[in-house]
Every structure is written in structure tokens, then in C-alpha cells.
């Protein structure tokens, strides 16, 4: 394995007038992405983020692990007849009234419906404030599809395998995520720094080499944001990157359809291994299977893997309000090094710096999930 670049020290500052980012590294060539968001993505819209339903997480996690243990793999296709309430909506009024209809019919839990409506209102406000003249149609189109697939997963929950390949047909979940996040980004003022390194990475992938991106992590939309900023220059990387994902993005009802469009290696965070003690052993076994899957993938070569080595999202300094990467977990970095070294295939490690927090800022507080916790809108983070 060759370490193409040493892990850098990152420094970042953020102001409301114009987001700025300064990068300090032992090498000036570090791939990074700076994202300028529309004013819509200020802190008033933090609940666009997908982690709205912590009250469902304990049950969903238990079911997920049990399904994995029994070898059950969901196909993503509904077993029961799927309601067309949302997909047939032609106006905001029809879409939102559909929530009440589905709750009354017993097909949608009231707390899920409440979360869906809140996401709708925040997303609507965000896109409208972007100034896009087509905002009305964009919101209705994207939220109609989102509502429909959130309901679909309630009707027939999708279960992720340890290694999940992006579902591109019959429904293209990858493009669903791209189209949903795209209106929130001001592309004219966003950029990818040191773009030449991504071309270098593409060449290494063509030669059969593996590449690992050791990255900071800022929002739950990071994988989609990365793809959007690379879709024109490096579409192969954008579509084939494999993301090491925590359990929230594969159990949260509002997050799952977006995760279904990404290539994922699903793991359980060490930080939260014992949040629900009776599930700890099952989580460890699931992580062992995921590591085996990663080892097999790397042996095949030509893989690019993204990992947030801190195990969670960045937070601003509580006094200065400056954003900086969370401390990396040295064991996570070392695990990736060993996996690459034992793959039998040339491998390279690149540091990747992201500045995109404002699209879905994480809550300031962190709190471990309690088994009996029920409030879906506590504004707390579990990563």
C-alpha cells in the first residue's frame, strides 16, 4: 500500500456572509470540495436532515439485525399492493392531504406522517428561497417521489445486506437522491479543489488499483453531495464510490430510500455498540460480515472506498463557531491500511476535506439513544 498523501490538518472558518475555507496540509495537493448553499439551507431548515425518527430506531435496528442473522434479504419490491396516493398527487394540497388519508387508512404511522410533513415544509422553503423560477414544480416532483418511497418502505421495509449495491432499476434510487439534493446547491459558488487528483485517482482505478478516501464527515447528504460535484468531471467515481455507512442511514425510514441509491458497506458504530446492550453481540457479528465483504471487494481491485474516520459528523467549536474536522479514530484508519495491504492489489490512501455542513447541519448536542425514547423531534444526534 502506498499512502499517496499524509493525513492533513484541516482548518476551516465559516461566516454567514460568505462561506470560506482554508486548508492547511503538509502537501498543497489535497482533494477537497467546497460547497456554497443557497440561503435556504441556513439553520432554520436543519430538520431537512433525515434523522427525524429516533423513536423508530431501536425497533428498526433490532429487526435489521435479526433479518441479517436469519439470512433474510429484502428485494425492495412490495409484497402487498402499494398505495398510489402520493404518486398520483398533482398539487401540494393533494400531497399533504394524502398524509391524512394514509394515516386514517392505517398504512402510515402518525409520527412518520408528521415527520414527512415537516420535511416537506422545510424542503419547500429551502428550494423556494433559492430563487429558481421552476421551484414549485421541482418541489412537487421531488417530494411526490420521496413521499411515495417513504410509504413504500413502511409497507414493505427494505433490508440492507452488509454490502449494498446502488439500486438503479427498475427505479433509479441513485438519480432520486441526486435530483432531491441538487436544488439545494449553488453550483456557481461551489467547487472541487485540486481536481487533478480525481483524474489521477481515475487512472489508478483503471489500472486495477484500490483507492481509499479518508474523509471528514459533515452531513448525512455527504455521499450525494460528493457525487453531484463530480458528476460532470468524474462520473465514474461519482457513481461507483463505496461508502462505509453507519446503521442510522439503513434503518431511519426517511433516510433509507436515499441510501438505497448508494453503494454501501454497512457497519455499526463502536460509539453506539452498547446503546442497546442486548443487540451488541448481533451488531459485532454484522460488522464482522461487513469487514469480510470489504476484504473481498478490495481483492477484486478497482474499488474506491470513502470512510469518515472520526465515526461521526463534525461540530463547530462552541465558543468560536469555527468548523473543524472531528478527531479521526486511529483504529479505523489502521483497519483500512491493513485491509489494503492484505488485498493483494496495489492501494492508495488519499485524505479528502469536505465543507458542506450548512445543507443539513447536525444538532449541537449528542445523546445516546435510550431504548424507550419516543420523541421524534428532540434535535439530538446519535453519531
CA distance 237 to 258: 18
Residues 167 and 150 in one domain: no
Q: What is the pLDDT of residue 102?
A: 98
Task: Say yes or no to pLDDT of 284 above 70.
Answer: yes
Please give the Cα distance from 270 to 15 (Å, whole number). Answer: 33
Residue 100 lies in a domain: yes
Model pLDDT for residues 110-123, shown as the tens digit of each residue: 999 999 999 999 99
Interatomic CA distance for residues 236 and 350, integer angstroms: 17
Question: Which residues neighbour 131 within 8 Å (Cβ) at sequence distance 6 or greater?
Answer: 38
**What's the sign of the alpha-carbon dihedral 364, 309, 163, 32?**
positive
Angle at 216 between CA 322 and CA 289, to 5 degrees: 150
* Cα angle, residue 199 at apex, residues 341 and 5 outer, rounded to 5°: 45
262 in a structural domain:
yes
Q: Name the nearest CA neighbour of 98 among 120, 76, 80.
A: 120
What is the percent of the chain where pLDDT is above 70? 73
Which comes out higher in pLDDT, residue 320 or 160? 160
Question: Which candidate in 67, 156, 172, 186 is catalytic?
Answer: 156
- Please indicate, yes or no, whether residues 207 and 127 belong to a single structural domain of this protein: no
Q: What distance in Å separates the CA atoms of residue 186 and residue 125, rounded to the nearest whole number?
A: 15
Give yes or no: residues 120 and 243 share one domain.
Answer: no
184 within 8 A of 126, measured Cβ to Cβ: yes
Q: Which of 122-131, 265-274, 287-296 has the lowest mean pLDDT?
A: 265-274
Q: What is the pLDDT of residue 15?
A: 24
292 and 239 in a common domain: yes
Question: Mean pLDDT: which of 40-44, 47-51, 350-354 is highest?
Answer: 350-354
H-helix segments, 215-342: 222-230, 235-240, 248-251, 256-259, 280-300, 330-341
pLDDT at 380 (0 to 100): 25
CATH number, domain at 124?
1.10.1200.50
Final residue before a domain boundary, out of 95, 129, 156 = 156
pLDDT at 250 over 70: yes
89-102 burial code (b ≥16 CB/10 A, e <16): beeeeebbebbeeb
Average pLDDT, the chain: 78
Confirm whether pTM is higher than 0.85: no
Model pLDDT, residue 258: 97
pLDDT at 215: 94
The pLDDT-based confidence of 305 (bands split at 50, 70, 90) is very high
Domain extent at residue 129: 82-156
Sign of the Cα pseudo-torsion (271, 333, 319, 360, in order): negative
* CATH assignment at residue 338: 3.40.1130.10
Question: Model confidence at 145, in pLDDT bands (50, 70, 90)?
Answer: very high
C-alpha cell belonging to residue 307? 470512510
CA angle 378, 157, 172 (to 5 degrees): 100
Say if residue 212 is in the same domain as residue 328: yes
Confirm whether 35 is domain-assigned.
no
Question: Are 229 and 337 contained in the same domain?
Answer: yes
Q: Give the whole-angstrom CA distance, residue 203 versus residue 4.
A: 14
Q: Are residues 339 and 206 in the same domain?
A: yes
**Residue 34's beta-bridge partner residues?**
191, 355
Q: Identify the domain boundary among 156, 180, 200.
A: 156
Higher pLDDT, 168 or 280: 168
Q: Do 320 and 235 share a domain, yes or no?
A: yes
Looking at residue 236, its pLDDT comes to 97
Across residues 219-235, what is the average pLDDT?
95
Locate all alpha helices (DSSP H) within 42-169, ordered by sequence. Answer: 57-70, 92-104, 110-129, 135-155
In a domain, 38, yes or no: no
CB 135 within 8 A of CB 128: yes
Residue 336 grid coordinates = 483500512
Please count the other Cβ atoms lying within 10 Å of the Cβ belonging to residue 350.
23
How confident is the model at residue 319, as a pLDDT?
86
pLDDT at position 276, please? 84
- Answer whether residue 68 shows pLDDT above 70: no
Could you tell me if residue 75 is inside a domain?
no
Interatomic CA distance for residues 27 and 68, integer angstroms:
43
Query: What is the DSSP secondary structure assignment for residue 188, as one 8-state letter?
Result: G
Residue 298: the pLDDT is 97
**Cross-strand pairs, 305:** 212, 242
Residue, of 237 and 382, whose pLDDT is higher: 237
User: C-alpha cell of 107?
Assistant: 398504512
Note the pLDDT of residue 366: 57
pLDDT surpassing 60 at residue 361:
yes
- Helix or strand (DSSP H, E) at 178: helix 173-181
CA–CA dist 152, 148 (Å, integer): 6
How far is it between the farthest Cα atoms of the chain? 60
pLDDT in the model for residue 369: 43
Question: Is a pLDDT exceeding 50 seen at residue 220?
Answer: yes
Nearest to 352 by CA among 212, 224, 205, 178: 212
Lowest average pLDDT, out of 94-98, 195-199, 281-285, 376-380, goes to 376-380
The whole-number pLDDT of residue 19 equals 22
Contact, 33 vs 229, CB < 8 A? yes
Q: How confident is the model at residue 77 (pLDDT cuts 50, 70, 90)?
A: very low
Asked whether the beta carbons of 277 and 59 are under 8 A apart, the reply is no
Give the pLDDT score at 79: 53
Out of 118, 136, 156, a domain closes at 156
Selected residue with higher pLDDT from 233 and 14: 233
The DSSP code sequence of 194-205 is TTHHHHHHHHHH
Establish if 22 belongs to a structural domain: no
Confidence of residue 31 (pLDDT cuts 50, 70, 90): low
294 shares a domain with 314 = yes
For residue 50, is it within any domain?
no
Residues 144 and 194 in one domain: no
Mean pLDDT for 37-41 is 37
C-alpha cell at 273: 455498540
- Rounded to 5 degrees, what are φ and ψ at 353? -105, 130
**Is residue 188 located within the same domain as residue 311?**
yes
Same domain, 140 and 167: no
Tell me, yes or no, if 358 is annotated catalytic: no
Domain count, the chain: 2
Query: Rounded mean pLDDT of 134-161?
Result: 96
What pLDDT sits at residue 158? 95
Does residue 27 fall inside a structural domain?
no
pLDDT of residue 73: 42
Amino acid at each position: 500500500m502506498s499512502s499517496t498523501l499524509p493525513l492533513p490538518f484541516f482548518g476551516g472558518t465559516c461566516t454567514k456572509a460568505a462561506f470560506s475555507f482554508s486548508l492547511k496540509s503538509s502537501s498543497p495537493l489535497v482533494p477537497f470540495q467546497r460547497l456554497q448553499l443557497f440561503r435556504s439551507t441556513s439553520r432554520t431548515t436543519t430538520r431537512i436532515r433525515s434523522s427525524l425518527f429516533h423513536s423508530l430506531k431501536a425497533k428498526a435496528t433490532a429487526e435489521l439485525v435479526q433479518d441479517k442473522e436469519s439470512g433474510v434479504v429484502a428485494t425492495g419490491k412490495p409484497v402487498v399492493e402499494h398505495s398510489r396516493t402520493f404518486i398520483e398527487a398533482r398539487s401540494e394540497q393533494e400531497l399533504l392531504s394524502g398524509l391524512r388519508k394514509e394515516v386514517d387508512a392505517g398504512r402510515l404511522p402518525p409520527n412518520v406522517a408528521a415527520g414527512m410533513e415537516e420535511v416537506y415544509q422545510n424542503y419547500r422553503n429551502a428550494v423556494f428561497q433559492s430563487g429558481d423560477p421552476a421551484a414549485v414544480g421541482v418541489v412537487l416532483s421531488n417530494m411526490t417521489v420521496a413521499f411515495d418511497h417513504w410509504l413504500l418502505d413502511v409497507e414493505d421495509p427494505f433490508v440492507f445486506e452488509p454490502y449494498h449495491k446502488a439500486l438503479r432499476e427498475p427505479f433509479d434510487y441513485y438519480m432520486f437522491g441526486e435530483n432531491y439534493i441538487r436544488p439545494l446547491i449553488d453550483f456557481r459558488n461551489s467547487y472541487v479543489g485540486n481536481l487533478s487528483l480525481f483524474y489521477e485517482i481515475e487512472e489508478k482505478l483503471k489500472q486495477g488499483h484500490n483507492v481509499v478516501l479518508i474523509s471528514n464527515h459533515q452531513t448525512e447528504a455527504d455521499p450525494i453531495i460528493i457525487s453531484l460535484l463530480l458528476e460532470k468531471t468524474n462520473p465514474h467515481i461519482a457513481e461507483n464510490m463505496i461508502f462505509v455507512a453507519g446503521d442510522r442511514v439503513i434503518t431511519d425510514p426517511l433516510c433509507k430510500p436515499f441510501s438505497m441509491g448508494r453503494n454501501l458497506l454497512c457497519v455499526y458504530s463502536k460509539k453506539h455498540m452498547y446503546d442497546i446492550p442486548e443487540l451488541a453481540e448481533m451488531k459485532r457479528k454484522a460488522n464482522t460480515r461487513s469487514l469480510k465483504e470489504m476484504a473481498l471487494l478490495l481483492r477484486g481491485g478497482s474499488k474506491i472506498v470513502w470512510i469518515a474516520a472520526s465515526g461521526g459528523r463534525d461540530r463547530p467549536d462552541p465558543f468560536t463557531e469555527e468548523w473543524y474536522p472531528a478527531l479521526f479514530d486511529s483504529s479505523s484508519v489502521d483497519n483500512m491500511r491493513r485491509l489494503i495491504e492484505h488485498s493483494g492489489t496495489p492501494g492508495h490512501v488519499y485524505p479528502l476535506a469536505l465543507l458542506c455542513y450548512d445543507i443539513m447541519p447536525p444538532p449541537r448536542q449528542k445523546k445516546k439513544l435510550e431504548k424507550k425514547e419516543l420523541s421524534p423531534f428532540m434535535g439530538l444526534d446519535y453519531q
